Structures are given as C-alpha cells and as structure tokens.
C-alpha cells in the first residue's frame, strides 16, 4: 500500500487496519501523513499494528496525531507500540490523546 | 525569616543560603519552611534523601504539610528542575505565595553538570523573575564546594544569606543578563571516537552510528536507543532550521557517551529546551525530548552557529550525597 526506502505499510484484515514495518522520520513523515489521510476514509476505529515500527521521531508522531485529529469520527488505535516509542509519547506530553490511543 | 523588609512581597525571590554545617543548614531552612507552613503557603523541598530525612526530623509535625522531592531524581539532569518548579507553581494557582527549597549543586557533580547547574540557577530568574510571587531558597555547602561556585551563586541569586541575615547580593547579574550564559563556549574534549557531516539523506545513518557506538560502549540497547532518538531530533533541527546540514561528533569518556551536533542555526530563547511543550501539535518538542532522554544537554549559540552536546552516562546513575 505504501513503501519507501525506510518504511512499508500493508493492509491487515483481522482487525481491519494497517501494519507498519520500518522507520518514520522527517524524511518520510509528510508522505506517510498524506498516505494515511487519503487511505483512512470512513468513521470506524482503525487498528494500526506498530510492532514492526523500529523508529518514529517527533515529526512522525505528529503526523499520526494530525491524521487522527482530522478524522471526523473514529480513532487510531496503536497496537504493539514498542516500549521506547511509548516512552517518547509520554515524554512529549502526547500520551492519553483522545484520537490516538495506545492499546496495551 | 527576617528578610521581607528588603524584599517586595509581590515578586519572585531567589535566595542563596550558604551553610557550613548541619546546624547552619537547618537554621536557615527550618524557619523558612515553618514560616510557609504556618502561613498556609504550599511548600516544596527538593533535596537529597539524606537532607529530606534531616528536615523531616527537625520539622516534626510540620513536615506533614510539606511536599518533598528527591533532587537525585528531579535534578539528575538539571534542565528538568525548572519544569518541576513550574509544575509546582501552576498546580497551586489559588495560592498567593509559595515557598521552595532546591539544592541542585553538590560536590560530586561533574564539571559539565556543574556548568549546567549554574546555568540553571541563572535561568530560574528568567523563568520566574517576572511571574508570580514566590520564594526559592537554594542551599550551598560552603565546606565542600569551591569558592568559585559560591561566587557564582552570588551572581545568580538576588539575595544571599551568609550567616544569619539575608542581604541583597551586590554581584547579582540581574534579570536581563540571567539568560545570557548561552554564549560561553563549551570546554574542549579529547580525541573524538567519530565525526561525520550529515544532511537530510543521512538521518538513518546518524541514528545507526550513535546507537551502535553507544551500545558498544556498554550503554545497553534501551539507553543507546534513547540517545539515538535525542541525537536524531537535534540533527533534524539542523536540517530544517540550522542550514540544512550539520556535523555530529561522538566522544567516549569514562563516565559518559557524548554526542555533539553542530550547525549554523541559532537559538535566542534562553528557556528553549526546558519549557513544557504547548498543547498545539505543531509546537516544537525535540529539545524538550532530548532533556527527558539524556542525562545532560548542553546548548550554546555562538556567532558562527549552535552546538548541542548530549550526554548519556555509562554505568549506574550518580547519587546525591
């Protein structure tokens, strides 16, 4: 569905959503946000399998939040987010957002 | 304290307390704390575990009304202390006055930590000097600290208590100059382990180099990754705000892995790395994050550009005595 030199995103079916593998940084954060904005139609919660996301910088998290907040309804649910990225979400004050939820 | 006569009660009061022994420490702090408790003011004491124990014993019943926090945790990276005071002040919006005690400098601080602690003491004036009225008392152990450290405390504090009486400090550098020690160059270091130029296409290589070198130095995968995340954010700033590229230098020292990012950008806000990020998603977070992930962050904006040095300690964290 989406691929660049650092990141591959594929569709998942059970649950319906997307699977991330690789890295997001300022080189591809904008492209990832554009891809998600276009690809995440509808109003249901969307499940994102983040267990293969080995790196995500502040601009990458910002992109996910912007996409989540731009949807009229439905949240982005992050599954399997690596511990280090959970730590980054807390340190940046981005834990406990209404539209971007870390599922433990 | 018998000091309000030389102080406008509607301002932030930043005072150094010089003590040479336990009696002088307790003699300066206990009446200050008790005065706050009895006036119904919120009081937060950020001290070593040993001093907290000493104060609890001396305060007796009054200790129950005091908030205590361990400086070894709060102030391991001194850039995290101002946000903690900011939280304390913000949390007590209804209080007309508040009191705090904070002792960020002790003899085991490394030279790099000491420089940043001194910078922190000066930045407290910038952070709070034009805000709500509250009193912060900063004990300094004159028995164990160098005379130069005590001299600098006279420059970073508007008031000093040396003996029994508080006085205005003749050496106080003032509010406007308190943000300035941004442009004193950092000390030279020894031979670098690695030095690379980077641009936009090189961020992944920068991260990998830092993570690999840090792990090889024994930091452990998690702490090495934390350092790589912090370096990545600063290098990203170089690419987007610092002229499009920068130079990464890595030093391996006995006590820490140190990464320096140099570029042609410029920081002009003294508190740029220690203001809690705003609610806006777009608000910058890179420098803030670096301070949360690293043991020390040193920022200097000089005429020819900016350097940011990130320190990650090897081995167990150093304690507070």
Residues A55-98: tens digit of each pLDDT: 999 999 999 999 999 988 889 999 999 999 999 999 999 988 99
Rounded CA-CA distance A27/B201 in Å is: 8
For residues A11 and A54, give the distance between their C-alpha atoms in angstroms, rounded to a whole number: 18
Q: Are residues B25 and B160 in the same domain?
A: yes
Measured between CA atoms, the residue of chain A closest to residue B285 is: A92
Determine the Cα–Cα distance for residues B60 and B50; give it in Å rounded to an integer.
Answer: 16
B114 and B31 within one domain: yes
Look up the CATH number of the domain holding residue B213.
3.30.565.10
- Read out DSSP for B286-297? HHHHHHHHSSEE
Q: Is residue B189 part of a domain?
A: no
Looking at the structure, do residues B56 and B122 belong to the same domain, yes or no? Answer: yes
Domain boundary among B179, B213, B246: B179
**Which residue of A30, A66, A68, A93 is the best one to mutate when testing the B interface, meaning the one whose CB has the most B CBs within 10 A?**
A93
d(CA B210, CA B236): 14
Question: Which residues of chain A have a CB within 8 Å of the CB of B203?
Answer: 25-27
Q: pLDDT 10s digit of each residue in chain B, 321 long?
A: 444 444 456 899 999 999 999 999 999 999 999 999 999 999 999 999 999 999 999 999 999 999 999 999 999 999 999 999 999 999 999 999 999 999 999 999 999 999 999 999 999 999 999 999 999 999 999 999 999 999 999 999 999 999 878 999 999 999 999 987 567 889 999 999 999 999 999 999 999 999 999 999 999 999 999 999 999 999 999 999 999 999 999 999 999 999 999 999 998 889 999 999 988 899 999 999 999 999 999 999 888 899 999 999 997 544 443
Q: What is the pLDDT of residue B5?
A: 42
Q: Are strands A100-103 and B135-141 parallel, antiparallel or unpaired?
A: unpaired
Cβ atoms of residues B267 and B179 within 8 Å: no
Report yes or no on B188 lying in a domain: no
CATH number for the domain running over A2-103:
3.30.750.24
User: Do B167 and B203 fall within a single domain?
Assistant: no
Which residues constitute the domain of residue B87?
4-179
Same domain, B156 and B265: no
Q: Given the DSSP bridges, would you call strands B256-263 and B245-252 parallel, antiparallel or unpaired?
A: antiparallel
Domain CATH code at residue B23: 3.40.50.300
Which ranges in B1-110 belong to alpha helices (H)? 22-38, 49-59, 71-74, 81-91
Task: Check CB contact of B241 with chain A, cutoff 8 Å.
Answer: no
Residue A25 to residue B277, Cβ atoms within 8 A: no
In this complex, the residue of A27, A57, A65 whose CB is nearest that of residue B233 is: A57
B276 and chain A: CB distance < 8 Å anywhere? yes
Whether residue B129 is contained in a domain is answered as yes
Q: Chain A contact for B163, CB < 8 A?
A: no
Contact flag A84-B226 (C-beta cutoff 8 Å):
yes
Query: Could you give the CA distance from residue B226 to residue B232 in angstroms, rounded to a whole number?
Result: 10
Last residue of a domain, one of B123, B145, B179: B179
Contact B129, B173 (CB under 8 A): no
Which of A42, A52, A34 has the alpha carbon at shortest distance from A75?
A42
ipTM of the complex as predicted: 0.95
Query: What are the boundaries of each domain within chain A?
Result: 2-103
B13 part of a folded domain:
yes
The answer to the question of residue B185 being in a domain is no
Q: How many beta-carbon pairs below 8 A join chains A and B? A: 53
Q: Are residues B225 and B255 in the same domain?
A: yes
How far is the CA of B162 from the CAs of B16, B19, B28, B121, B140, in angstroms?
Answer: 8, 7, 10, 18, 10
Global pTM reads: 0.93
How many residues are there in chain A? 104
Domain count, chain B: 2
């Amino acid at each position: 569905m989406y691929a660049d030199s650092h990141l591959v995103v594929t569709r998942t079916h059970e649950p319906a959503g997307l699977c991330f593998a690789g890295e997001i940084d300022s080189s591809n954060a904008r492209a990832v946000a554009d891809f998600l904005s276009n690809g995440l139609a509808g109003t249901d919660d969307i499940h994102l399998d983040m267990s293969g996301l080995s790196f995500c910088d502040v601009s990458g998290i910002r992109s996910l939040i912007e996409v989540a907040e731009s949807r009229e309804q439905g949240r982005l649910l992050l599954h399997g987010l690596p511990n280090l990225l959970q730590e980054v979400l807390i340190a940046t004050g981005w834990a406990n957002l209404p539209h971007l939820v870390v599922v433990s | 304290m018998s000091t309000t006569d030389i102080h406008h009660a509607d301002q932030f009061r930043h005072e150094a307390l010089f003590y040479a022994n336990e009696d002088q420490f307790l003699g300066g702090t206990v009446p200050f704390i008790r005065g706050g408790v009895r006036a119904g003011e919120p009081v937060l004491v950020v001290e070593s575990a040993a001093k907290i124990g000493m104060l609890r014993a001396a305060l007796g019943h009054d200790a129950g009304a005091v908030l205590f926090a361990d400086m070894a945790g709060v102030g391991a990276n001194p850039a995290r202390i101002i946000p903690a005071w900011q939280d304390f002040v913000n949390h007590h919006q209804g209080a007309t006055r508040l009191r705090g005690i904070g002792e960020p400098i002790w003899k085991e601080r490394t030279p790099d930590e000491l420089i940043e602690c001194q910078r922190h003491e000066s930045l407290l004036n910038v952070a709070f000097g034009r805000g709500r009225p509250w009193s912060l008392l900063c004990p300094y152990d004159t028995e164990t600290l160098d005379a130069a450290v005590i001299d600098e405390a006279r420059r970073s504090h508007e008031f000093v208590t040396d003996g029994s009486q508080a006085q205005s400090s003749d050496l106080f550098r003032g509010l406007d100059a308190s943000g300035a020690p941004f442009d004193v160059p950092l000390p030279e270091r020894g031979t670098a382990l690695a030095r690379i130029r980077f641009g936009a296409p090189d961020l992944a290589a920068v991260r990998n180099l830092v993570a690999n070198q840090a792990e090889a130095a024994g930091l452990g995968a998690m702490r090495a990754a934390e350092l790589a995340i912090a370096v990545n954010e600063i290098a990203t700033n170089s690419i987007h705000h610092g002229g499009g590229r920068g130079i990464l230098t890595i030093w391996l020292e006995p006590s820490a892995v140190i990464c320096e990012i140099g570029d042609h950008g410029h920081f002009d806000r003294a508190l740029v790395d220690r203001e809690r990020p705003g609610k806006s998603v777009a608000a910058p977070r890179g420098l803030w994050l670096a301070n949360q992930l690293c043991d020390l962050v040193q920022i200097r904006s000089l005429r020819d550009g900016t350097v940011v040095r990130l320190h990650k300690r090897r081995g167990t964290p150093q304690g507070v005595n």
